[in-house]
Structure 1
Amino acid sequence: MPRDTLTRDQIVGTAVELLDAEGLEGLNMRALGKRLDSAATAMYWHVKSKDNLVLLATDQVWSGLALPDVDAVGWRAAAAAMAADLYRMFTRHPWLVQVFAAHIAYGEGKARHDDHHLAVYEAAGFSPEQADQAAAAVFTYALGNAAGSAAAASHARRIAKDGAGAEERLRDAMAEAREIAMGYPHLRARLETPAADYAAAPESTFEFGLQALLDGLERQLPR
């Protein structure tokens, strides 16, 4: 595709698809150009650099998050909805977890979301400083819960790329981890549950922890 027929939106949208498939380590201008049937140099014309492309892709995904009407549903329902939306975003696009370890993420879409997130907690009655703390606590909770999905996606890519060798290494590591866990009674009791699988957790773990977190925040509100 010639440079003058490409648009930045096309490039960024295709970058998101590539990141979903290959992770942050799989994004490069050559692979992106191949998907767009264009030269790698044409990518730089529109997006300047790989780092800038990562920011643009991140912000495009962030722009898709919903902003619930706090006046219509109340602060707690709005906070829960935004937290669940963040968690779904991170698990649907596991490379975003990698982005926060390697990049400073910002952009119009993220600013729009973050501003509304703060407004939800201020509507609840928190001071601006407390709203910052509450929003940060919920955000890091969603991000942390998605780390397991990001790790599982990374291992799946490694197995797909390296084949039996990577699968065998994971199997050996899990076997060794199970052997160590046998020496600890609470871990031993869970070895035959779904939570013992790699990067797994009991069903509804996110929802359980989120409600506990919101309960704690609610108790901090001025009476």
Structure 2
Amino acid sequence: MSGKQFSSVWMREPRPSRTPGRSREEIVRAAMELLDAEGLDGLSMRKLGARLGAGATSLYWYVANKHELLELVYDEIWGEMTVPPPEDTWWRQTAGTFAHSMRQVILRHPWSAGLIGRTPALGPNALEVAGRLSRAFKKAGFRGLDIDYASSTLTAYVFGTTIPQVAYNEMMAESPLDEESMRAAVERAAAGHPDLLERLRESEPADLTQAREMMFTFGLAAVLDGLEARLAT
């Protein structure tokens, strides 16, 4: 049984502006602002049209539907990521800079976590990032499919550590919980596991944001160490 035919905003040329001062870029910027303010659930063509002082129907000249609009804003996210040119940089520096940058971009635009894996990354910014990473791992010595596996391993680590943090931040923003009482509850739950209790008490952070950054940096180094070890074999 055949599936739904794939379509993407990137499969056709942008339509020219029909209104002076209006452009697809302006619509994307306004959508980003609305998403940053209200999240994915707060984005609608009606709200976006009101923000731009235009009717929702007029926006459909530039994007066929909300899905296409999300493709465009998703590519803007990739455009904010920093990936040093692999031709001028050690591959670990390229990969590490990208990983830290991707994490910060997702945290800065938490709604983007809801698009990962759902929205195709086929825009020019996403393809430029993918191309630079591919060249960096090829320069390191990876060959064939291992280049793709190395890139996906790196991005999977960033997604896996950052998306839960986005969810936690959103939960705390919607319904703040007292962290002291949370910690006390965890200690009670772990009362029968002395090793876990020891780790919990030893790892109590003075600053949660700093602790998360340190954990991310440690894990990233471990991932890159593992990739480098594969090169040695």
Same fold (TM over 0.5): yes
Using the TM superposition, give the Cα deviation of residue 126 of structure 1 relative to its aligned residue in structure 2, in angstroms: 0.6
What is the alpha-carbon distance in structure 1 between the residues aligned to residue 160 and residue 215 of structure 2? 12
2:19 matched to 1:4?
A: yes
What is the alpha-carbon distance in structure 1 between the residues aligned to residue 210 and residue 90 of structure 2? 32
User: Contact 1:33 / 1:39 at 8 angstroms: preserved in 2?
Assistant: yes
Unaligned runs of 5+ in 2: 1-17
User: Contact 2:86 / 2:132 at 8 angstroms: preserved in 1?
Assistant: no
What is the alpha-carbon distance in structure 1 between the residues aligned to residue 213 and residue 84 of structure 2? 26
Residue matched to 2:5: none
Identify the match of residue 204 of structure 2 among 179, 189, 193: 193
- The alignment partner of 2:125 has SS state of helix
2:29 matched to 1:13?
A: yes
User: Contact 1:94 / 1:149 at 8 angstroms: preserved in 2?
Assistant: no
Residue matched to 2:159: 143
Identify the match of residue 154 of structure 1 among 167, 170, 185: 170
What is the alpha-carbon distance in structure 1 between the residues aligned to residue 154 and residue 132 of structure 2? 14
Using the TM superposition, give the Cα deviation of residue 185 of structure 1 relative to its aligned residue in structure 2, in angstroms: 3.0
User: Contact 2:121 / 2:127 at 8 angstroms: preserved in 1?
Assistant: no
Are residues 196 and 13 of structure 1, via their aligned partners in 2, closer, same or farther at CA, if it must alter by over 3 Å?
A: same
Residue matched to 1:213: 223
- The alignment partner of 1:70 has SS state of coil
What is the alpha-carbon distance in structure 2 between the residues aligned to residue 186 and residue 99 of structure 1? 38
Unaligned runs of 5+ in 1: 160-165
When structure 1 is superposed on structure 2, of 208-217 and 88-97 the one drifting more is 88-97
Residue matched to 2:58: 42
Using the TM superposition, give the Cα deviation of residue 71 of structure 1 relative to its aligned residue in structure 2, in angstroms: 3.2
User: Contact 1:148 / 1:200 at 8 angstroms: preserved in 2?
Assistant: no
- Residues paired across the two proteins, number: 213
**Sequence identity of aligned pairs in percent?**
33
What is the alpha-carbon distance in structure 2 between the residues aligned to residue 30 and residue 16 of structure 1? 15
Using the TM superposition, give the Cα deviation of residue 137 of structure 1 relative to its aligned residue in structure 2, in angstroms: 0.4
Amino acid at match of 2:189: I
When structure 1 is superposed on structure 2, of 27-36 and 137-146 the one drifting more is 27-36
Identify the match of residue 111 of structure 1 among 127, 147, 153: 127
Higher helix share: 1
- The alignment partner of 2:61 has SS state of helix
2:41 matched to 1:25?
A: yes
Offset from partner CA, 1:49-101 (integer Å, 9 cap, x none): 11111110010221232331223221111111111121122111112211015
User: Contact 2:86 / 2:136 at 8 angstroms: preserved in 1?
Assistant: yes
TM-score, normalization by structure 1: 0.81
TM-score, normalization by structure 2: 0.78
User: Contact 1:91 / 1:146 at 8 angstroms: preserved in 2?
Assistant: yes
What is the alpha-carbon distance in structure 2 between the residues aligned to residue 182 and residue 11 of structure 1? 54
What is the alpha-carbon distance in structure 2 between the residues aligned to residue 69 and residue 46 of structure 1? 33
